[in-house]
Structure 1
Amino acid sequence: MAYETKALFRDDAYLSTAEGSVVAVNDRGGIILDSTNFYATSGGQPGDIGHFERADGSAIQIAATVTGETKSEIIHIPAEGQAALAIGEKLVLHVDWARRYRLMRMHTACHLLSVVCPFPITGAAVGDEESRIDFDLPDPSYTRENVTERLMEMVRANAPISTRWISDAELAGNPGLIKSKNVRPPMGNGQIRLVVIGEDGAVDSQPCGGTHVSETQEVGDIHIGKIEKKGKENRRFRIRFGSLPLL
């Protein structure tokens, strides 16, 4: 049986604390709640870690968050040796906010990089220290220096970031919104979530279920740490926090 968890992070990525009730504990100890602010691993972004606070003040440490049988079922994986929870038990959910916020900044930086490099994306992974995007990019003129400069121009411009929902039909009628060469957003549920950068998407709009900051300046200083050749035309760009170091 698949459960449906209300994903609070989709409407408010800044919800570091929330409340939820236990609806199930699976045979591997995974905890399923009626609602959660913990993001589940998806789309290249790692799932959240943190802890659940019980009524008596004790804590259940959460080592990972993943999806279950469907994308709507969110499973919280406790660290080893945690106490068992009862069905119906009410909890206060505390995301490891420092880590989540770094992931939000990084995920937003990945969107900006896809604007600077408008080529098909062949792979991506978001991390709290370094992220990467692989592009089908034949143009050798993209360098660490000029890409970093353009990224920081977009960060400093401080464009607003928001989300909106479109229908499957709207996405089908505007296929240019999809930047991934190999992965398509899940369709069939009637709605697709768009992350919109700039007024009315002046900077970018693309399907994404991840968490992001609310304005580009929150990304802070970032730079391209390395560009690696992964094939005849495949290039891997590594994004890191901080200013571009002098060589």
Structure 2
Amino acid sequence: MQDTQPLFIEDSYLTTSEATVVAISDRGGIVLDRTCFYATSGGQPGDTGFFEREDGSRIDIAATITGESKAEIIHVPANDQPVPGVGEKLMLHIDWERRYKLMRMHTACHLLTVICPYGITGASVGENESRVDFDMSEIVDKKDVTGKLMKLVEGNHPVFTQWITEADLESNPELVKSKNVRPPKGSGRVRLVCIGEGSSVDSQPCGGTHVSETKEVGEIHIGKIEKKGRENRRFRIRFGPLPE
């Protein structure tokens, strides 16, 4: 199946784009030459939204996933949606309200890894709650962690991406915070998501979408810290102030 140009890699704020249908999968998934729809990966859910056809009708998209490789992006129509033809041109529209929440949450997860410098054993980004699991046995106070998170948010640090070679990553293994998942190899380069001037706050491999400055995350708090085994702690991040 043909690779799709991932427009979101360079611009997380791109909400619409034109594209051409290049294939329809065996299960009815739509493959395009390029897309602004993020595909499920790295704990972040894929985008939803709709495609606008030249006659003004629409195709609702219920999910965006990857195929046999991350370069293959498949848009999954909702039930009972029409199937476009190969070669048809479409205007893509992502559900921006949902995407923006995920961008804010994903950035918040990165900030949490700065405050808790332990190996990451799992993560999941959600619209209203996200979780990050750490390989740690220390007991920490959610109020203290929340205060440190909000200090980073209010510092309004820039968030940006840069590319390094796979060789550079091998020479700097501390950039990889996950204990279980390594960045995919084979392309020759790795995308870093950096926070702070000159990456002063954080820098780690990530293919997800993020806000452009930490203040956009908004008010967040640690809703719960759960013990998951003797040396594993699960932190739940939620929007809004810490409840009294």
User: Do these two structures clear the TM 0.5 threshold for a shared fold by scoring above it?
Assistant: yes
3-state SS in 2 of match to 1:118: coil
Give the match for residue 63 of structure 2: 64
Deviation string for 1:135-169 (max 9, x for gaps)?
011211x2110000000000000000000110000
Residue 16 of structure 1: how far off its partner (Å): 0.6
Instruction: Give the letter for the 1:85 counterpart.
Output: P
Which residue number corresponds to residue 191 of structure 2?
Answer: 193
Q: Which residue of 1 aligns with 2:18?
A: 19
Distance 1:187 1:86 in 2: 34
Percent sequence identity is 66
1:5 aligns with 2:4: yes
Of residues 145, 148, 151 in structure 2, which corresponds to 1:150? 148
Q: Which residue of 2 aligns with 1:84?
A: 83
Q: Which residue of 2 aligns with 1:137?
A: 136
Q: Tell me the SS of whatever aligns to 1:134.
A: strand
Please, which runs of 5 or more residues in structure 1 have no aligned partner?
Answer: none
Aligned counterparts, 1:1-247, within 5 A: 2-140=1-139, 142-246=140-244
State the 1:90 CA deviation.
0.5
Q: How many angstroms apart in 2 are the aligned matches of 1:205 and 1:78?
A: 35
Residue by residue, what CA displacement relative to the aligned partner does 1:195-214 show, whole Å, maximum 9, x if unpaired?
A: 01011100000000000000
One-letter amino acid of the structure 1 residue matched with residue 56 of structure 2: G
Summarize deviations over 1:169-225 as a string: whole Å, max 9, x none.
000000000000111111121010000101110000000000000000000000000
Measure, in 2, the Cα distance between the counterparts of 1:6 and 1:53. Answer: 19
SS class of match (1:150)? helix
| Counterparts of 1:166 and 1:125, CA distance in 2 | 25
- Structure 1 segments, 4+ long, off by >3 Å, are none
- Indicate the SS of the match to 1:24: strand
C-alpha displacement at 1:3, in angstroms?
A: 1.1
Deviation, structure 1 residue 24: 0.2
Q: Which amino acid aligns with 1:66?
A: I
